[in-house]
Amino acid sequence: MPAVTIKTKNGGAASESPLASKIGADLLGKGGNAVDAAVAVSYAITVTLPHLGGIGGDFYAMVIEPGRSVRVINGSGPSPAGLKREVLVDKVYGKMPETGGLSVTTPGLVDSTWLLWREFGTLEWNELIAPSTHMALEGFPAPATLVNSITKLTEKLGRCNGTWRTYHDITTPGMTVKFNGLAKLLSMIEEDHRVFYEGDPAGKIVEAVNECGGVFSPDDLASYRAYITEPVSLRYGDWTIWEMPPNTQGLTTLLILKLLESTPPRIDQSTINKLLQAYRIAYYIRDNYIGEPDYMQHKPMELLQDSFITKAIQEAACQRKTKGKDTTFFITADNEGRIVLGIQSLFHHFGSLVTEPHYQIPLNSRAACFTLKPGVPNTVGPRKLPLHTLSTVLIEGRDRIIGYGLSAGHYRPQFHAQIAKRIIEGGEDVVEALQAPRLAWVPWTNKIIVDEELVSKLEGLQGYEVITGRTGVGSIVEVYNGEIRLATDRRGEGIPIVARP
């Protein structure tokens, strides 16, 4: 799909779902701010893109207020109390399960969106959820990405009966889809969001997860609370770059940028070895030193110090392979200068492949992000936040604010850094930087995934297999001289929509 760009002074929304963008823009037009719109977009995505951003997943948001203060909402959920390393080792797992009940962590989206609204929103809570409740009940046209995912995963969807029952009959792009169970759940959340964690839905989630091999208890859900935290940042020339802090991999973006500060932003034979070396070092640090902050040996900003990076370079060795996963990212902006960068995910398509059938809740597979390797911050354990792939970027300089993000899983830091370098060092227009060809090194392998345009530039590269494939789907916003520019990616189906007062 061609990239779409809009300019406005009234604000707008951009996401992978045109219906979600429209709902967000409508809320802005009714007097809501960017936070109100972001919450509305998030819930609309749980309806239209359940395979990517379903209600049983996690949610993060980076919020910049008109006074330039930046806050992060952390809506990742911890592992259940019963998920212990010895349990998994005893079951003769060589690595963390990617599907099934043992791959599920507590869903954080509902509590984190409520926290975002409570701290920064202006409209009534139920006004933000009602459009999605109506859409789930009355129906919407099936997006091609949803149908394609169901088609590709048809055999796997049958592993847990709830997933098959919920999605198997969605077969044609554009057909009308209704989720009556999800509509019922959303109407309950309109009245009290904690029903998801303490009411009938919670009991049914525990039952569904444990029927598929999980170890959840009611208290795993009832005890959950999202929280607000501070971003991490890097001064890069005349610019400031903000990323999300641990337990996310946001620091990895800043590490890559620091390691590549003297390297041109282009991707070709002359720069590829420096890129790959920087990626290896940054991911070595990520995999060995980043996780839930309480388990990290170093404070997050210490990992950006030259002395630590020198030590990590000396330590770096071959590591395990890591696969990319999928997510969905969106942006909302209002006419007061407020921006929300929101990102939500089940991790894999349809997450754990466990779906609670009564309320049609697809459940995440975030526990798959843990490692069985002992002695690192991300070693699996009870009531622990996994190293999280979700993050977003906000950069400020020369009287401009630019925010962006992508659906790119483990590859996200590489893409985030590539876009930042194009804007800051290459002087590219923000929309051009988003649409430019991207490259992903598949961590701890000899594979490189690129957009088609880069294949010829890397011909003859020794020691690596260069293949074409998915390089994420993103959106970007720029605020400059009172004007807001929003753009969506040529690689996706989304569009930005202007708010109409």
Q: What is the pLDDT of residue 326?
A: 63
Short-list 386, 441, 356, CA closest to 97: 386
Short-list 131, 106, 95, CA closest to 23: 131
Q: What is the pLDDT of residue 381?
A: 96
Q: What is the pLDDT of residue 92?
A: 62
| Range 219-252 burial, b when 16+ CB lie within 10 A, else e | ebbeebebeebebbbbebeebebbbbbbbbbbbb
Pairing of strands 70-75, 326-334: unpaired
- Residue tagged 């009290």 (tokens): 192
Q: Long-range contact list for 92-98, CB < 8 A, 24+ apart?
A: 93/372, 94/372, 95/320, 95/371, 95/372, 96/367, 96/368, 96/369, 96/370, 96/371, 96/372, 96/380, 97/367, 97/368, 98/348, 98/365, 98/368
Cβ–Cβ contacts within 10 Å for residue 392, how many?
29
Q: What is the pLDDT of residue 324?
A: 47
CA dihedral 64, 65, 68, 73 (to 10 degrees): -40
Cα–Cα distance for residue pair 501/426, rounded to 1 Å: 37
Q: What is the pLDDT of residue 376?
A: 94
Q: What stretches in the chain show pLDDT beneath 50?
A: 318, 320, 324
Short-list 1, 2, 4, 29, CA closest to 488: 4
Residues with Cβ within 8 Å of residue 311, at least 6 apart in sequence: none
Cα–Cα distance for residue pair 186/192, rounded to 1 Å: 10
Q: Are 483 and 6 in contact (CB under 8 A)?
A: no
Region of 351 on the Ramachandran plot (φ > 0 left; ψ -120 to 50 alpha; else beta)? left
Short-list 315, 274, 275, 198, CA closest to 441: 275
Coil, strand or helix: which one is 67? coil
Q: What is the pLDDT of residues 52-93, one digit of tens each?
A: 999 999 999 999 998 879 999 999 999 999 999 988 887 767
User: What is the sign of the dihedral through the CA atoms of 404, 283, 353 and 219?
Assistant: negative
From residue 2, how far is each of 26, 140, 490, 492, 494 by CA, in Å? 24, 23, 5, 9, 10
Tokens standing for residue 189:
């959340």
Could you state, in order of their start, the residue ranges of all structural domains in the chain?
Answer: 31-223+333-369, 229-324+391-498
Q: Are 49 and 17 in contact (CB under 8 A)?
A: yes
The hierarchical CATH code for the domain 229-324+391-498 is: 1.10.246.130
Coil, strand or helix: which one is 312? helix
Tokens standing for residue 331:
């942006």
Cα–Cα distance for residue pair 349/362, rounded to 1 Å: 10
Q: Are 416 and 391 in contact (CB under 8 A)?
A: yes
C-alpha neighbours within 13 Å on the C-beta side of residue 166: 28
